[in-house]
Structure 1
Amino acid sequence: MLVTYLEASRDLCDTNSIIFGAALAVCRIIGAKVPTAGRATGQSSAIPAWRKRIEERIEKARALIGRLICSRSGNNRPRIVRTVRMAFAGTNVSLSQLDIMQKLTERIDDLKQRIAAWGKRIRRYTERSTRFNQNRLFQSDQKRLYESLKRPMASGTGPAL
């Protein structure tokens, strides 16, 4: 099968792609791990790990808020009930209490406050990182720093000096 593809290849780039695909297929068949460093798929490393972790927490909290709101509006599906029980795990709140609607509302508000705090943390860390990089650029190449500051101001989104 590889011979037919190689005969049909027009240039070195096609040949390289065919051989890489064949090697990748063989690795998958035998169960060998393929390193992803240096490939185009490894581009996600530009986002810091701390930011990914905080964004995952925000995602999970938003999903939990959605299920708690479903429960508060009367949805009693087993998956929703199980999620509500997990949300109140470790507390002495049971779903059979009379003030469960109030407890649900309080938990939703608490999660919303946590999401806001995590968002502020991301913003604060990003601003600190930007300041750090600008200070370092100022030390090494002031001209490039001022050009980078001037560029966003032309579009009206940059900081005022």
Structure 2
Amino acid sequence: MLVTYLEASRDLCETDSILFGAALAVCRIIGAKVSTAGRATGHSSAIPAWRRRIEERIAKARALIGRLICFRSGNNRPRIVRTVRMAFAGTNVSLSQPDITQKLTERIDDLKQRIAAWGKRIRRYTERSTRFNQNRLFQSDQKRLYESLERPMVSGTGPAPNQADTVAFWRGLWSEPVNHSEGPWTEVVASQCAGITPMDPVIITPDDVAEAVLGPRTGKVRGLTECITTG
């Protein structure tokens, strides 16, 4: 197998990966302990152990969902069947019972809910960690914080869209007549709002904007609402 993979190798990096994978497989077969710390990325050490455990659970759950879906679709290979039996171990579910399809669907939904819960836990930690780091950076170096919050402008690098296709797409959405069926609640809302006096239009001139933005404090920028109300 190693000869076959090496003959198909296209560059030095791929050859290195093939040789490393073969050496690692041999070490696992003979039971030798191998340290892969030298090949790890610099970011792996910064990931907490509990997060790595959760990500491993998510990966295993997704793999199990894939095999359950394969079995539900009619794939009866021995490895798939063995995995499905392990998924229902400790329960009274038999693979030959009539409602096995429903049981498979319930098990898949349960795994999806667990994956969603684990993902929310990781997101909560990430958001809390981000807020903590931003607060600490605000106390030490506000300039760096504001620079980190600036989002780079995204410019399209691909080909420009065809004008005729763009016009045809939006014309199909906005030019076709549509008959909306309004519910009775719209008439109730219209009758309740009939006696409301419309607000006078707000006209903002360039002089108003110039007067509102003059004289801000150092390091402060007035927001849109503050500029309008001040002007």
- With the length of structure 1 as denominator, give the TM-score of the two structures: 0.67
Measured after TM superposition, the shift of residue 124 of structure 1 is 1.3
Structure 1 CA distance for aligned equivalents of residues 109 and 17 of structure 2:
53
Give the direction of change, closer, same or farther, for the CA distance of 1:148–1:92 in structure 2 (3 Å limit).
same
SS in 2 for 1:152: coil
Measured after TM superposition, the shift of residue 116 of structure 1 is 1.4
- Structure 1, residues 102-152: CA drift from partner, whole Å, max 9, x if none? 000110111111111111111111011100111111222222212222355
The percent of aligned pairs where both chains have the same amino acid is 93
Give the direction of change, closer, same or farther, for the CA distance of 1:158–1:51 in structure 2 (3 Å limit).
farther
SS in 2 for 1:38: helix
CA-atom RMSD in angstroms: 8.8
Deviates more, 1:109-118 or 1:16-25: 16-25
Asked whether the equivalents of residues 85 and 95 of structure 1 are also in contact (C-alpha less than 8 Å), the reply is yes
- What's the counterpart of residue 42 of structure 1? 42
Deviates more, 1:25-34 or 1:90-99: 25-34
Give the direction of change, closer, same or farther, for the CA distance of 1:4–1:145 in structure 2 (3 Å limit).
same
Structure 1 stretches of 5 or more lacking a match? Answer: none
Asked whether the equivalents of residues 72 and 104 of structure 1 are also in contact (C-alpha less than 8 Å), the reply is yes
Measured after TM superposition, the shift of residue 96 of structure 1 is 1.9
Structure 1 CA distance for aligned equivalents of residues 69 and 7 of structure 2:
61
Which of structures 1 and 2 has the larger relative contact order (alpha carbons within 8 angstroms, sep 6+)?
1
Give the direction of change, closer, same or farther, for the CA distance of 1:49–1:153 in structure 2 (3 Å limit).
farther
- Structure 1, residues 45-65: CA drift from partner, whole Å, max 9, x if none? 122222221111111001000
- Structure 1, residues 1-55: CA drift from partner, whole Å, max 9, x if none? 9999999999999999999999999999999999887997554212222222111
Q: Quick check: which has more Rg, 1 or 2?
A: 2
Asked whether the equivalents of residues 71 and 81 of structure 1 are also in contact (C-alpha less than 8 Å), the reply is yes
Give the direction of change, closer, same or farther, for the CA distance of 1:50–1:134 in structure 2 (3 Å limit).
same
SS in 1 for 2:151: helix
Deviates more, 1:136-145 or 1:70-79: 136-145
Asked whether the equivalents of residues 149 and 158 of structure 1 are also in contact (C-alpha less than 8 Å), the reply is no
SS in 2 for 1:105: helix
Deviates more, 1:138-147 or 1:121-130: 138-147
- With the length of structure 2 as denominator, give the TM-score of the two structures: 0.48
Aligned length: 160
Structure 1 CA distance for aligned equivalents of residues 98 and 115 of structure 2:
28
Structure 1 CA distance for aligned equivalents of residues 79 and 9 of structure 2:
53
Structure 2 CA distance for aligned equivalents of residues 124 and 105 of structure 1:
29
Structure 2 stretches of 5 or more lacking a match? Answer: 161-231
SS in 1 for 2:41: helix
Asked whether the equivalents of residues 36 and 42 of structure 1 are also in contact (C-alpha less than 8 Å), the reply is no
Measured after TM superposition, the shift of residue 159 of structure 1 is 29
